[in-house]
């Protein structure tokens, strides 16, 4: 079944495509810069998932309905012990990377929210909702990593 997109839907998808490309680039770059092996792995995992998102957006833009049955929502486990004194300096760089990616994920999730409401086709809305859920899981994973490493303290 070929998808007929409106001009507005196409524009929104092009925006999401650009956002996914930026996320892939940032996650890959930050995986190389991160000091903590766990954070490197987290960023690498998210880069792969962002590539899947980009592939999905490109499928829709080409007029094809993506098959979501094969895509599983995966969240990396980010619960770890508190860092020791030797890792505090490395945490500063890693904290900056995490903060930037958390802000990025908040923004991207919000743009998906807007796009979801603008699509006529229920199936495309479901696909975009699935991607948005994964973006939110990325944000949650980064938040959990930061909190468990003393980088994000929630006030009570």
Q: What is the pLDDT of residues 64-83, one digit of tens each?
A: 998 876 555 444 444 444 44
Contact criterion met (CB below 8 Å) for 110 and 136: no
* Residue ranges per structural domain of the chain: 7-148
| Predicted confidence (pLDDT) at residue 93 exceeds the cutoff of 80 | yes
Percent of the chain clearing pLDDT 90 (strictly above)? 75
| CATH superfamily placement of domain 7-148 | Ferritin, core subunit, four-helix bundle (1.20.1260.10)
Measuring CA to CA, which residue among 23, 44, 49, 21 is closest to residue 32? Answer: 44
Cα(87)–Cα(98) distance, integer angstroms: 15
Count how many residues are written for the chain. Answer: 156
Under 8 Å between Cβ of 132 and 112: yes
Q: What are the C-alpha distances in Å from 25 to residues 21, 46, 91?
A: 6, 11, 21
Per-residue pLDDT, averaged over 15-22, amounts to 98
């Amino acid at each position: 079944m070929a998808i007929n997109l409106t001009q507005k839907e196409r524009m929104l998808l092009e925006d999401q495509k650009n956002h996914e490309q930026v996320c892939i680039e940032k996650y890959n770059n930050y995986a190389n810069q991160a000091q903590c092996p766990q954070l490197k792995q987290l960023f690498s995992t998210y880069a792969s998932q962002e590539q899947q998102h980009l592939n999905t957006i490109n499928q829709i833009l080409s007029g094809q309905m993506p098959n979501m049955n094969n895509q599983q929502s995966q969240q990396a486990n980010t619960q770890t012990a508190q860092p020791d004194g030797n890792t505090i300096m490395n945490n500063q760089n890693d904290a900056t990377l995490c903060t930037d990616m958390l802000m990025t994920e908040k923004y991207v999730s919000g743009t998906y929210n807007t796009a979801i409401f603008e699509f006529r086709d229920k199936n495309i809305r479901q696909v975009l909702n699935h991607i948005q859920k994964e973006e939110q899981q990325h944000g949650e994973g980064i938040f959990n990593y930061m909190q468990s490493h003393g980088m994000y303290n929630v006030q009570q």
